[in-house]
Structure 1
Amino acid sequence: MTPFLIIGLGNPGKEYDGTRHNVGFNAVDAISQNAECKMQNAKWRKRTTLHAEILECNIADHRVILVKPTTFMNESGHAASALVQSCRLSTVDCRLIVLHDDLDLPLGTLRLSRGGSSGGHKGVQSTIDALGTNDFLRLRIGIGPNVTPDGTRIPAEDFVLKRFGKRERAIIDATITHAVKTTTILLRDGLSAAQRFANVE
């Protein structure tokens, strides 16, 4: 059975836990707590040759491999490329899904799309470069805007490495729950149904 690869982007290491740039990791961790995965007693395993931690389980009658790259964000493509080759996966059939933060989307917004540019996201660009294509699914999780309450713009490279405030954390936790439901709908009912569910304001 050809698996679905669900890759969450982030930076490894305790110092990055809870930062805005790591919501992709948070999302795949949340997917791993899916009741079906838990019933299968699936565990995360570090695979050095794949440059990633992976967890394999079945969700909605599909084999799923959850992925957290063990490289830093701007080298995320190494894991994507290694896994696509290992699984003999074609991006044409929409079985590669990348979950990541998006500074251009307001906090709490989700967008499920296929293809498109990286939008300046280095992890996404690394994935595009490593695969030689942008033809994969992306579930973008809004973390923006990068401005203070008084309207001062925070440099993107600083903003994404900051942790969420208490109010923001509650919003992003709810968004991640929505992202988990979106992936389940995608696996069960297909892309169009998942987009209708995810792409709401």
Structure 2
Amino acid sequence: MSGKFIVIEGLEGAGKSSAIASVVTHLQAKGVRPETVREPGGTPLAESLRELVKKKWDEKVSSTTELLLMYASRVQLVDNVIKPALLKNRWVIGDRHDLSSRAYQGGGRQLGDELLEKVREITLGSFKPDLTLLLDVDEKKGLERARERGDLDRIEEEDLAFFQRTRQAYLNIAAKDPTIIVIDANQPMLDVHQAILQAIEEYLF
């Protein structure tokens, strides 16, 4: 079986971590031993860039700076981990990928589609996931869940309007891309996981 790249996306508090664990268990039962990665991060350099992005600085962080740090980290992970794994017919499960930047920086930061397309073309070219599962959660509910986990990072501390723009960008992009499946993450977690596993079975097996 050839390798596949599956990405779990969504706002803070959407339940990505538990969803990834469910996917990994499901694939292992089928004899697939997937590798899990997260963005930003996933390599020593990419993790250092993650710290820069998440840190609360005493100066204003330019939205463009944030975008470029995200893609610098992403390229490190894609070139050094994801592509080599796929070439070995390994499956890779990603906690966020390119869609996050298109939603958070393109929509939330309002940098727009044109700039995002240029950066994507330079850094990723035609590379994209085989399947993206977008866990769509109400912004207020997601932020409440995130706060329950503990301290929020610099991006998680943005106001509600930022996350409303981000969520809408997610949904707008998903509506135009058949490889992005929207999962209602407002429903009970068991139902969310069942919908995710059903999508994987339908689209990848």
Q: Which TM-score applies when normalising by structure 2?
A: 0.39
Higher relative contact order (CA closer than 8 Å, sequence separation 6+): 2
Question: More helix by proportion, 1 or 2?
Answer: 2
Q: Which TM-score applies when normalising by structure 1?
A: 0.40
Question: More strand by proportion, 1 or 2?
Answer: 1
